[in-house]
């Protein structure tokens, strides 16, 4: 008889003595596959919760031009984001929206986009300024955003800007 024990994701079969080796192998293989599936489902749920609402740079530019922000600080943050994106540009990787921009930055940093991580990346770029001049200018624009807000992570700032203007 097969029973699903506490802490296991799959059921086991009755292991007759002559089938124990192969039966255990099949059981644990199924258990590993079930674990991977469960982890991927949990990660996709987590990503859905933390993903920034889709706000392209064209829409953000239109919002700045039409002055459709609640306050001046949000408008300045949006302008700094557009400056940074313009300096980052199409020469390296094409980014179309805030999500892609954050992902590219996190990939460059190898972590989350906090002020200290951006400063470390800027120092790395400043060591070879002739090669990374545009990236350095882009990072300076992004670092100025932290002076305008109390948030500690750039992704959170992008999320708030996108959420405030997602109805357009």
Position 85 scores a pLDDT of 85
The verdict on pTM exceeding 0.75 is: no
Position 76 scores a pLDDT of 92
Position 13 scores a pLDDT of 65
Position 1 scores a pLDDT of 45
Task: Mark the ranges of the chain whose per-residue pLDDT is less than 50.
Answer: 1, 49, 168
pLDDT tens-place string over residues 56-83: 888 888 888 988 888 899 899 999 988 8
Task: Supply the DSSP string of 114-156, one letter for each residue.
Answer: BHHHHHHHHHHHHTTTTTSHHHHHHHHHHHHHHHH---SBHHH
Position 45 scores a pLDDT of 63
């Amino acid at each position: 008889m097969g029973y699903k024990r506490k802490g296991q994701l799959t059921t086991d079969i009755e292991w007759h003595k002559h089938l124990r080796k192969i039966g255990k192998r099949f059981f644990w293989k199924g258990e590993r596959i079930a674990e991977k599936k469960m982890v991927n489902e949990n990660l996709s749920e987590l990503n859905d919760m933390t993903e920034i609402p889709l706000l392209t740079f064209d829409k953000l530019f239109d919002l700045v031009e039409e002055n459709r922000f609640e306050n001046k600080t949000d408008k300045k943050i949006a302008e700094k984001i557009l400056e940074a994106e313009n300096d980052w540009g199409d020469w390296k990787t094409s980014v179309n929206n805030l999500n892609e921009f954050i992902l590219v930055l996190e990939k460059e940093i190898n972590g989350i986009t906090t002020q200290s991580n951006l400063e470390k990346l800027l120092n790395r770029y400043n060591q070879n300024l002739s090669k990374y001049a545009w990236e350095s200018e882009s990072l300076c624009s992004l670092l100025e955003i932290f002076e305008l807000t109390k948030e500690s992570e750039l992704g959170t700032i992008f999320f708030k800007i996108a959420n405030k203007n997602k109805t357009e």
